[in-house]
């Protein structure tokens, strides 16, 4: 059941917990390593708060923590958590308080969403690249830099057009404002500041660990990765037109290591933002966040901070219990 938002901050002394988040309908979801909290502004102005325990698959299967592999796990888990949070936020923001999404509905939503993303950002640019380069004659197969460069540029262009287009919808603009509130709140926590609206207001709405930056890195890495990978495949050199479509199955498989590499690069750069080279690497994603975030209101910052405080408080409580169990003789 929804609870009132905590009014005080509880943090583990001297320890900074890794926290990530996501904007949802009239709210924000925050996730720590073992806890998840969603705060939503209800129609009457109250804050609905949903708290859940969270245990990653990598906790049960340690090999999933291996570099590169863990990126794919984090991506899938973020999708599941995001759909669950969106389901809760939709019911609270509308005042209906409907039953939460079932595992089947979550799976179907993910399947439909992934299918549309694959159609728009994989199949369409791949087919267009093959068609356009076929007009230039032979020598522009899958193994050529030209094919993968055009394919990558088309992906990025379609993604930019998509984000720009949806930004005109009022509901999406509100979502982008909560996205900015999420980033500001996390920045305040990472800086060690007291988690108040006044403090969070002064931080940037652009964050290097944002999912937007991750998506941009996936697209950029895929250009080099697929150029190298397809140069080793027989038949790729001649696949410069619609004959290249069967190779898209391999492309979808290869997207997992590409996503893993993008995750590792995002993780590496976000911890070394004092270096010029890392700032250059994340700059395209940071620039795109000017589209996917907006300056939030104080009310929206309050929501983001409520979710963050709740996730941190739950995480601290779990760590204290674990320490108590270890200290018992």
pLDDT tens-digit readout, 283-311: 999 999 999 999 999 999 999 999 999 99
Average pLDDT, stretch 62-75? 88
Residue 109, domain member (yes or no): yes
Domain assignment of residue 187, yes or no:
yes
Q: How far apart are CA 15 and CA 131, in angstroms?
A: 54
- Residue 25 scores a pLDDT above 50: yes
Does the pLDDT at position 98 exceed 80? no
Domain boundary among 114, 148, 183: 114
* 126-171 pLDDT per residue, tens: 888 877 877 776 666 676 777 878 888 898 899 999 999 999 998 9
Residues 108 and 193 in one domain: no
Residue 126 lies in a domain: no
Q: Are the C-beta atoms of 110 and 79 separated by less than 8 Å?
A: yes
- Residue 313 in contact with residue 7, Cβ under 8 Å? no
Residues 107 and 150 in one domain: no
Look at residues 49, 83, 114 and tell me which one is the last residue of a structural domain.
114
Does residue 142 share a domain with residue 108? no
Residues 6+ apart with CB under 8 A from 19: 30, 31, 32, 186, 189, 308, 311, 312
Does one domain contain both 158 and 221?
Answer: yes
For residues 186 and 207, what is the distance between their CA atoms, to the nearest angstrom? 9
Q: Is residue 56 part of a domain?
A: yes
Same domain, yes or no, for 285 and 149? yes
Check residue 1 and give its pLDDT.
31
Q: What is the pLDDT of residue 244?
A: 62
- Considering the domain architecture, whether residues 106 and 143 belong to the same structural domain is answered as no
- Give every CB contact of residue 89 below 8 A, 6+ residues apart in sequence: 24, 25, 26, 27, 29, 38, 40
Q: Which residues contact 116 (CB under 8 A, 6 or more apart)?
A: none
Asked if 87 and 157 sit in the same domain, the reply is no
Predicted confidence at residue 111, as pLDDT, reads 79
149 and 97 in a single domain? The answer is no
Same domain? 177 vs 32: no
Q: Highest mean pLDDT: which of 89-98, 118-127, 153-162, 170-179?
A: 170-179
**Domains: count for the chain:** 2
Enclosing domain of residue 105 = 19-114
Q: Residue 11: its pLDDT value, please? A: 44
């Amino acid at each position: 059941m929804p609870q009132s938002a905590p009014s005080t901050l509880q943090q583990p002394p001297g320890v900074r917990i890794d926290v990530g988040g996501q904007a949802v309908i009239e709210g924000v979801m925050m996730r720590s390593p073992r806890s998840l909290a969603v705060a939503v502004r209800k129609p009457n102005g109250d804050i609905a708060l949903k708290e859940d325990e969270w245990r990653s698959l990598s906790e049960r299967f340690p090999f999933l923590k291996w570099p590169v592999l863990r990126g794919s796990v984090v991506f899938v888990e973020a999708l599941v958590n995001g759909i669950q949070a969106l389901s809760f936020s939709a019911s609270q923001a509308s005042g209906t308080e409907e039953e939460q999404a079932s595992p089947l509905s979550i799976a179907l939503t993910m399947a439909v969403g992934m299918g549309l993303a694959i159609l728009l950002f994989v199949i369409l640019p791949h087919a267009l690249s093959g068609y356009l380069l076929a007009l230039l004659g032979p020598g522009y197969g899958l193994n050529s830099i030209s094919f993968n460069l055009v394919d990558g540029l088309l992906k990025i262009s379609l993604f930019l057009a998509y984000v720009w287009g949806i930004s005109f919808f009022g509901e999406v603009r509100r979502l982008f404002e909560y996205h900015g509130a999420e980033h500001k709140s996390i920045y305040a926590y990472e800086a060690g500041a007291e988690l108040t609206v006044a403090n969070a207001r002064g931080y940037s709405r652009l964050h290097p660990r944002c999912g937007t930056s991750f998506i941009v890195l996936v697209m950029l890495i895929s250009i080099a990765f697929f150029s190298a990978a397809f140069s080793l495949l027989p038949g790729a050199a001649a696949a410069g037109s619609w004959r290249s479509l069967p190779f898209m199955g391999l492309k979808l498989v290869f997207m997992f290591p590409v996503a893993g590499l993008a995750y590792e690069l995002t993780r590496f750069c976000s911890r070394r933002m004092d270096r010029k080279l890392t700032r250059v690497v994340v700059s395209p994603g940071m620039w795109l966040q000017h589209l996917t975030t907006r300056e939030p209101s104080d009310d929206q910052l309050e929501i983001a901070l409520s979710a963050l405080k709740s996730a941190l408080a739950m995480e601290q409580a779990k760590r204290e219990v674990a320490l108590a169990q270890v200290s018992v003789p």
